[in-house]
Amino acid sequence: MAPDASYLCGLATAVFITTGVVVAMVRWFHMCCPYGSNPNYYYPARPFVTGIFLSTLLLLPYALHPESEDAWHLTQMYFLPVSLYNFTLMLYAYFGNVMRWRKWRRPILIVGCPIVISLIAAEILAIIPGDHVTLISHVNLLILGGVMTWVCLGAMGLVYRWARQFNEDDFSNPNDFPVTFARRWLLLILVNMCLSWAAALADTKLLMAVVMLLFSVSAVMLVIMALHPHRTRPVEEEEMAMEEESEADAQDQMYNRSMPQRKRKEILAAIRSVVEEQQAFLEPHLTLQSVADRCGYNRSYISGLIKAEYGGFFAYVNGLRVAHVDTWLQEHPAGTIQEAIDASGFCSRQGYYSVKTRLEKTS
């Protein structure tokens, strides 16, 4: 390997480490007002993200000694499987907390144990003078890298399903779950996953230098996306909604049982009264459970009837909201589209157009 390529890769490593430390400091010390008063809710992955970016310091041996083969193997190992483990940890730490699903912690800890042991061994070999090239890096590339790829893809699939659930099932507004943020994060992680495999398997220091610079850009993009919180529901409302959903999940299939026609009409009338006549659809964070509570009927009956009559709670409520935007503009000729959107139960202009496009495709 040409010396110039080694030192160029060492310089890129120094840039990557510096970026990681700066991003970690920004993530830990900077919180937008007034969200800093409740960081556990608005920034649920903050401690994990800070630690993950500080882990770039593990690459210091290569930045100081780019000619060392042991340090080179340590660098390869950092990008695979360590980077994939970090991606998985970030996904679960943020979206797992958003969904109040904490079962991920023990399995991820177990999966991380062999990675940590191998990383410590590689770090020691990289620090000790001389070249001690071993099979540790190759085993990680072939076995731990493949395992962590599977684990990371599983985490990405789960987050994707959560995003779809909040779009289609019990919630009327995509902003109740950071759907857009989730999709951008998944795309960014997918790109970085491909870069990790390319860097680890190519065994080319010039390519590794390019990958490190791209990772640095991704780190900056990630911290910029995460600076402003993507959770919009008040804490008390979030906690209450999650409790209501967990209690009602076991009863979701009750509607499949027979229901008298008279009872069906009675419940439908109650739904229309609450959602349409009382204009509950104008509430940005209206949930299926809140409609059931106001109607005085079981959530499963409400859900089943809305799915049968209107295609689902999301489609029903947002169809009313989209129609209300048009009505509001007709009644207020001097008003703006943003004012109409704000008055119709949408949390943002982007949310309105996203919902409108989705409903048009469905219809």
Q: Which residues on neighbouring strands pair with residue 287, listed in sequence order?
A: 171
Least confident of 146-155, 206-215, 232-241: 232-241
Binned at pLDDT 50, 70 and 90, residue 259 comes out as low
Asked if residue 185 and residue 297 are part of one domain, the reply reads no
Asked if residue 309 and residue 251 are part of one domain, the reply reads yes
Range of the domain at 243: 235-362
Asked if residue 271 and residue 209 are part of one domain, the reply reads no
- Number of domains making up the chain: 2
Least confident of 186-195, 256-265, 334-343: 256-265
Whole-prediction pTM: 0.66
State mean pLDDT over 211-222: 93
CATH number at residue 290: 1.10.10
Whether 239 has a pLDDT exceeding 60, the answer reads no
Q: Please tell me what DSSP assigns to residue 78.
A: I
State mean pLDDT over 174-178: 63
d(C-alpha 114, C-alpha 240), whole Å: 39
Domain boundary, last residue among 167, 195, 227: 227
Amino acid 19: pLDDT: 96
User: For the segment 65-104, what is each residue's pLDDT rounded down to a tens digit?
Assistant: 888 888 888 888 888 889 999 999 999 999 988 877 878 8
Domain boundary, last residue among 227, 258, 286: 227
Asked if residue 161 and residue 46 are part of one domain, the reply reads yes
Domain boundary, last residue among 195, 227, 259: 227
Whether 266 has a pLDDT exceeding 80, the answer reads yes
d(C-alpha 144, C-alpha 18), whole Å: 27
Rg (CA), the chain: 25
Amino acid 188: pLDDT: 93
Q: Is 282 helix (H, G, I), strand (E, B) or coil?
A: helix
Report how far apart, in Å, the C-alpha atoms of 307 and of each of 16, 158, 274 are: 50, 24, 17
d(C-alpha 97, C-alpha 110), whole Å: 19
- CA 203 and chain centroid, separation: 31
Asked if residue 56 and residue 190 are part of one domain, the reply reads yes
Amino acid 135: pLDDT: 54
Asked if residue 288 and residue 204 are part of one domain, the reply reads no
Q: HEC states along 101-128?
A: CCCCHHHHHHHHHHHHHHHHHHHHHHHC
